[in-house]
Chain A
Amino acid sequence: ETGVTQTPRHLVMGMTNKKSLKCEQHLGHNAMYWYKQSAKKPLELMFVYNFKEQTENNSVPSRFSPECPNSSHLFLHLHTLQPEDSALYLCASSQMGQRDYEQYFGPGTRLTVT
């Protein structure tokens, strides 16, 4: 596997379900990110992890719970979601501390909440 992978690619869940999104980066980076991409809206940064420590939480509802057990893996635990949470969830990684630390994105998980 190369780059940034995300599983599952598609997920349909009910409002009472609990599910998790998984992201893995194979680039040796030290930072990982969760973004939400909704139709006709700007990309929303949700969480940032730098060396496994959460450094950013942009007022995300508590029904979204991130976990970063090591610098290669990032999870987004979902529970009691609302239909408006349906979106494409993108994971990204980067190497912080460099001048041009571009972000590398995974393919995303298309989430539908019914």
Chain B
Amino acid sequence: GDSVTQMEGPVTLSEEAFLTINCTYTATGYPSLFWYVQYPGEGLQLLLKATKADDKGSNKGFEATYRKETTSFHLEKGSVQVSDSAVYFCALSIHTGNQFYFGTGTSLTVIP
């Protein structure tokens, strides 16, 4: 079935470090891929998305590229800030269905 697998957390980085959070997917169709972020005490917010192979989504310095050959959508940021501390969720949706599949979330803490 369709699913998303993302790296286990928690992840702790120093400010200005490079961030990678891995995400791989399994899908029977042609999914759209998303990264959501959840700050403490809040709901999930869409961070970025990509709707077809080789698309790159980007927002707030974060980037992720839709890699069909490796079925991956890894999240990267070149220099993290303390304000990036949050939980990050990878997700996919299939056009023909009404389901959204979320990963288990990866907690990121950035220390000064």
Contact = CB atoms under 8 A, between A and B. Distances in A.
Interface of A: 4, 6, 31, 33, 42-43, 45, 48, 50, 55-56, 90, 92, 94, 96, 99-108
Contacts of B44: 90, 92, 103, 105
Interface in B87-104: 89, 93, 95, 98-100, 102-104
Nearest to B45: A105
Contacts, number: 52
Given A45-B99, A102-B93, 20 more contacts: A4-B43, A42-B105, A43-B89, A43-B102, A45-B100, A48-B98, A50-B98, A56-B98, A96-B98, A99-B51, A99-B95, A100-B51, A101-B32, A102-B32, A102-B49, A103-B44, A103-B46, A105-B36, A105-B44, A108-B42
Contacts of A92: 44
Contacts of B95: 99
Interface residues of B, number: 20
A42 B104 contact: yes
Interface string B57-92: 000000000000000000000000000000001000
Interface string B1-39: 000000000000000000000000000000010101000
Interface of B, helix, strand, loop or mixed by DSSP: strand
Contacts of B98: 31, 48, 50, 55-56, 96
A55 B98 CA distance: 9
Contacts of B102: 42-43
Contacts of B99: 45, 48, 56
Between B45, B93, B98, the greatest number of chain A beta carbons within 10 A of the residue's beta carbon is seen for B98
B10 to A, nearest CB: 11
A56 to B, nearest CB: 7
